[in-house]
């Protein structure tokens, strides 16, 4: 079934986490949607690792609340060419663990973006740090097959990409898009 992360258990498929702090997990979090998408109705905070998997072909994961705070490594998994994943980690640095996304990957963080495992992306990939001088470092011999775009700000907003043996296709990057 589909999973919607929410601050109250009001409808079928909602996952309600409450320990007097809505959607805050003091350890690791692993979520799998077997027949639908993963969405959210409130910010998620996890101090340990996080894993988000959609098992159904073309199931999507959309964690776009700008106050999310996933502190540990985050693993992402989807299948199908429309199995897109969008994640905004608020002002918290984002460490993407080994992940396989069948569709497009869109990542935003108010701090640095790094990888700690190989990212295998079937579609396009977009990485944005929306705070000054935060780097994007993806150096795990990744395999991103679609166009890759980056956006950083400030002179310390550097970008490092190792795409392994997969050809790199850079999307349009404006002259001020990378610090």
> pLDDT (tens digit, 9 = 90+) per residue, 146-156?
999 999 988 88
Res 14: pLDDT: 53
pLDDT score of 155: 85
What is the sign, positive or negative, of the torsion defined by CA atoms of 76, 93, 27, 40? negative
Given a cut of 60, whether residue 19 has pLDDT beyond it is no
Q: Which tens digit of pLDDT belongs to each residue from 44-93?
A: 999 999 999 999 999 999 999 999 999 999 999 999 999 999 999 999 99
Report pLDDT digits (tens) over 105-129. Answer: 999 999 999 999 999 999 999 999 9
CA dihedral 64, 67, 73, 79 (to 10 degrees): -10
Range 131-138 average pLDDT: 95
Higher pLDDT, 13 or 104: 104
Write down the pTM of the prediction. Answer: 0.90
Angle (CA) 151 152 156, round 5°:
150
Query: Cα-flanking dihedrals φ and ψ of residue 152, to 5°?
Result: -135, 170
Burial 25-45 (b: 16+ CB within 10 A, else e): beeebebebeebbbbbebbbb
Rounded to an integer, the average pLDDT of 29-58 is 92
């Amino acid at each position: 079934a589909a999973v919607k992360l929410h601050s109250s258990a009001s409808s079928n498929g909602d996952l309600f986490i409450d320990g007097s702090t809505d959607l805050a997990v003091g350890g690791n979090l692993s979520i799998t949607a077997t027949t639908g998408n993963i969405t959210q109705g409130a910010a998620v905070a996890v101090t340990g690792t996080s894993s988000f998997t959609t098992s159904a072909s073309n199931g999507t994961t959309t964690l776009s609340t700008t106050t999310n705070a996933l502190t540990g490594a985050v693993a992402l998994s989807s299948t199908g060419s429309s199995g897109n994943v969008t994640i905004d980690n608020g002002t918290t640095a984002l460490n993407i663990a080994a992940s396989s996304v069948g569709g497009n990957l869109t990542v935003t963080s108010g701090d640095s973006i790094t990888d700690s495992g190989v990212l295998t992306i079937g579609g396009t990939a977009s990485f944005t740090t929306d705070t000054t001088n935060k780097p994007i470092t993806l150096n795990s011999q990744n395999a991103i097959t679609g166009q890759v775009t980056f956006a950083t700000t400030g002179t310390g907003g550097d970008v490092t990409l190792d795409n392994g043996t997969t050809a790199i296709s850079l999307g349009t990057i404006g002259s001020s898009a990378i610090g």
